[in-house]
Copies of this chain bind each other. A is one copy, B any other.
C-alpha cells in the first residue's frame, strides 16, 4: 500500500507536509506543493479513507437509511440515489447504503451503525410516526435529513414533496382544460401522505367551487381490487367525474383499465393525471401526465442540506418543499 510515507520520501518532505498538501491547508509553499503533487501522481497514491477517519474522527461517509421494499411507487429509489450521488460526487463524501430489510429491526441496525461511528450523516427515508430511528440519530447526535415527513417532524431538516402545490397544480390543470368533476384515487400509503392529499384535494376543489361528491374522494383503497371496484362505481354513475387524479402508479393503471372497461375514452370522456411521474407513463395508452417529476431532486436537495449541516452543525434547520412540475402528456386535453 502506497502511503503518505512513500510520498514524503519521494518528495523529500515530512509526512505532515504531504498531509497538509492533500488537505489543501494553504500553508505549504507552491514549490513544495508541486513536488508533493508530482509524487502523488507518479506513485498513483490515494489517501486511505479509514486512516483519515481514525485520525480525524470524520468518516466522510453518509448513509441512506431506508427499507427498500416500500419504494415501489411514490418515489423511484433509483432516481433518488442518483440525485444524492450527483451531489456527493462533488464532495469528499461517499455513499453508504443501509438497506433495512426487516422493518421491525431496522432501528437496531441503525443504532449499531451510529454507535460504531460508521457515518457522519444520514439521509432518512420513509419516516414513520414516532420513528425510533430519529430518536437514535438525535441521541447519537448524528446529523440527518429526512426525505418525506410526518407532522411530528416540523422542526427538523427535511425535504418533502409540496403536496399542497401538487394537488393545486393537478386540480387547476384539469379545471383549466374544462374538466370540472374531478375525483381522486389512490391506495393507503405512507404515514400521513394519503391524509394530506385528501385534505388538500377537498380544499382546492371547494376553493375553486368545483362540483363535488364525497364518493369522489373517499378513503384510499386497501387493495387494488377495492380500488377497481370503487372506480367502477364512481365512473359508471350518471353524473360521474370527468377527470381522475391518480396518486400512485397502481391508481393510474387501474384508472386506465376501468376507463376501457366502461368505454370511456381518454382524454375525451375522462382525463387522467398522475402524481409522481414514472418513466412508464409515457408508454401507457394513452401516455399519462403527472405533476411531479423526478425523485432525483429530493435526493440531491437532501444531500445538499446534509453537507451544509456537516460543515456547520449549529446551522438552523431547513425545510424544503419540492415544487410540483407538470409533465404534460396526452391523458389530459
Distance A109 CA – B78 CA, assembled complex (angstroms): 19
Distance A101 CA – B82 CA, assembled complex (angstroms): 7
Would you call A54 and B45 a contact (CB within 8 A)?
no
Would you call A256 and B280 a contact (CB within 8 A)?
no
Contacts of A68 in B (CB 8 A): 78-79, 81-82, 85
Distance A297 CA – B94 CA, assembled complex (angstroms): 26
Stretch at the interface among A112-120, A174-182, A196-204: A112-120
- Chain B residue at minimum C-beta to C-beta distance from A43: B115
Contacts of A115 in B (CB 8 A): 2, 44-46
The range of chain A's interface size is 35 or more
Would you call A49 and B279 a contact (CB within 8 A)?
no
Distance A94 CA – B284 CA, assembled complex (angstroms): 39
Chain A interface main SS type: helix
B-contacting residues, A80-137, CB 8 Å: 81-82, 84-86, 89, 94-99, 101, 109, 112-113, 115-118
Q: State which of B78, B101, B117, B285 has its C-beta within 8 Å of the C-beta of A77.
A: B78
- Min Cβ gap A296→B in Å is 10
Stretch at the interface among A10-18, A160-168, A247-255: A247-255
A195 in contact (CB, < 8 A): no
A313 in contact (CB, < 8 A): no
Mark contacts of A262-286 with chain B using CB atoms, 8 A cut-off: 1 yes-contact digit, 0 otherwise.
0000000000000000011011110
Interface residues in chain A, defined as those with a beta carbon under 8 Å from any beta carbon in chain B: 1-2, 44-51, 53-54, 57, 59, 64, 68-69, 71-72, 77-79, 81-82, 84-86, 89, 94-99, 101, 109, 112-113, 115-118, 224, 249-250, 253-254, 256-257, 260, 279-280, 282-285
- 4 smallest A-B Cβ distances: which pairs? A50-B53, A85-B99, A46-B116, A46-B115
